[in-house]
Amino acid sequence: RSKLSGPELLCQIKKMVQIATLTPDMEPFSGFPWASQLPPRQITTDIGPFKTCAVVSSAGSLKNSGLGKEIDAHDAVIRFNAAPTTGFEKDVGSKTTVRLINSQVMASEDHHFLSSSLYSAGILVSWDPGPYSSDLREWFNKTDYPIFKQYQRYRRLHPQQPFYILHPRMEWQLWQRIQDNMVETIQKNPPSSGLLGTVLMMSLCDVVHVYEFLPSRRKTELCHYYQRFSDAACTLGAYHPLLYEKNLVKRMNKGSDHDIYTHGKVTLPGFMTFNC
Ligand code: NCC
């Protein structure tokens, strides 16, 4: 098969990946009393559009990057899972507009999701790696972690904080874009939070700058900028098809290779800014 160009890839993703969040009217949720805890409108209706946005990966290569000021200069900033800003402002900034968290973070004891102040800044968006299907009922009966139980608890404790759940269809539509553009057969696991968040921001912003998803000259085996743990699989992927995700993002990059080398920075256009 012929390799798609960057603009063609961007068009495929724009056309074939629907960015959606759960709303109270969707089945089977509409039949549950707690459905009223879900935001009534789509996240794309409620927030944005923003001019410029920053996607801050959690990579160890952000350490000593000094990118904090540049990141904070964006109109909106997305961060992932348990990635902190306190104590790391110089390298990652302090603004958090959206925090995208996987269901493991919500459920595991050691993250103290319900009580930690780490999660209280900005808008929360969560996702769960369900089965390869976009059927909500099937997913509801087979989530990887108890995302709904934790969602209800969190909403009761923090009713004022906006909190969305991604429609699992988005994960698999994006996975399909990765698979269809690779020669190899990739593992049937959803894309990483980093790629999901990048595509989410492309639907909310005119320009998206992604930091240290494609590693800079600071590339390191250090997994996260905020932890001492080292494992090259954090950057290259094991469960998530991360290497393939990065290949795709590299092809869509509108910025220079020099920006990647010095800043780990990729520039992607928002979906509203181009026609296909
Ligand atoms: O590590 P994680 O991701 O929270 O990182 C967020 C996103 O940053 C990008 N990244 C991270 C580290 C690195 N060295 N290079 C990178 O490019 C990736 O795009 C990544 O998605 C996840 O995707 O949700 C993930 O979550 C962790 C873990 O659940 C949370 O950190 C909470 O502890 C997963 N780790 C494990 O399950 C052990 C990880 O596989 C993916």
Q: Which of 170, 166, 180, 78 is nearest to 127 (CA)?
A: 166
The total number of structural domains in the chain stands at: 1
Give a yes or no: residue 274 inside a domain: no
In short, whether 215's Cβ falls inside 6 Å of ligand 1 is: no
- Give the torsion sign (CA, 155, 161, 165, 171): negative
Give a yes or no: residue 275 inside a domain: no
* 34 C-alpha to ligand 1 centroid (Å): 30
Give a yes or no: residue 276 inside a domain: no
Instruction: Please give the ipTM for the structure prediction.
Output: 0.98
- Give the torsion sign (CA, 133, 127, 270, 50): positive
Give a yes or no: residue 1 inside a domain: no
Give a yes or no: residue 32 inside a domain: yes
Residue 45 is part of which domain span?
A: 6-269
* 192 C-alpha to ligand 1 centroid (Å): 7
CATH number for the domain harbouring residue 96:
3.90.1480.20
- 62-115, pLDDT tens digit by residue? 999 999 999 999 999 999 999 999 999 999 999 999 999 999 999 999 999 999
- 142-192, pLDDT tens digit by residue? 999 999 999 999 999 999 999 999 999 999 999 999 999 999 999 999 999
Ligand 1 test: best mutation among 192, 201, 230, most atoms within 8 Å of CB? 192
